[in-house]
Amino acid sequence: MKITKFGNEILRSAKYYLDLNCIEKGKNVVYCAGNPTKFNNIVIGSAYCAAFVSQVIKDTLNKLNRKLHFVFNSNSVLELYNQAKNNLRIDKKPRPGSVGIIRTGITTNKKAVNGDNHSHALIVRDVNDDFTKFSTIEGNTSSNGVEGVLSIQRPSSKYSVNDYSFIHIEDYFDDMKELINNPYSTFENNNDINIYKNRDIIAFNIIRNEYRWN
């Protein structure tokens, strides 16, 4: 699926960490290229999915020398959602470069889906034509026994797309809304990905960046 120019820059920043093989060596203890890493200056050992999203957005804005008119930076999923809800379009349709929030349990103060109490933030990488599946780059996730920053396909069998909300930060800058081909596509061009099943998800492991333990 095509992507806005700003969304492309967001994915470029996210892919940077994916290429560094940011994996956990201990619960929520992340090493990127073999070096201990704190996303968004979060306390090591803390859940970091929102911190990863915030770090990627911050890196992108700094690289482009741009600013948002509101704060969109938090290590809390709920706070990220609350920061966005009065400032950005939020809907149920994933788009490349958007921020996905799974809205169950504490994220909305509503009854949790399937009885769990789960919240998670991610960056949408690509979307299939009928919007029923999307691939991601996200932190604090796991697949095939590996935990860290991964690119996977969602939703899993436990959730549906309707369990997510999508924050459309990729549309924020008017002069960067032009749609271009998505160089990080997984549905249109999977020549560089290895698709493998892990329980109820399909993970995309970049072949040239196989996980390495140092």
* Count of alpha carbons within 13 angstroms of residue 121, beta-carbon side: 29
Has residue 78 been placed in a domain?
A: yes
Has residue 160 been placed in a domain?
A: yes
Has residue 42 been placed in a domain?
A: yes
Q: How many CB atoms lie within 10 A of CB 143?
A: 20
| Residues in contact with 25: Cβ distance below 8 Å, sequence separation at least 6, in sequence order | 31, 213
The DSSP string of 179-203 is: EE--TT-SSS--TTEEEEEETTEEE
Taking the C-alpha atoms of residue 108 and residue 119, their distance in angstroms, rounded to an integer, is 9
Q: So what's the pLDDT on residue 51?
A: 97
In the chain, the number of structural domains is: 1
Has residue 79 been placed in a domain?
A: yes
Is 0.95 surpassed by the pTM of this model? no
Q: In which domain, by residue range, is 163 found?
A: 3-209
Taking the C-alpha atoms of residue 40 and residue 25, their distance in angstroms, rounded to an integer, is 19
Has residue 146 been placed in a domain?
A: yes
Pairwise pLDDT comparison (209 vs 53), residue with the higher score: 53
Distances (CA, A) of 135 to 73, 78, 173, 212: 23, 22, 23, 22
Per-residue pLDDT tens digits for 140-188: 999 999 999 999 999 876 778 888 999 999 999 999 999 999 999 998 7
Has residue 165 been placed in a domain?
A: yes
Has residue 135 been placed in a domain?
A: yes
Has residue 214 been placed in a domain?
A: no
Q: So what's the pLDDT on residue 203?
A: 39
* Lowest mean per-residue pLDDT among 14-23, 35-44, 166-175, 187-196: 187-196
51 sits in which H/E element? helix 49-64
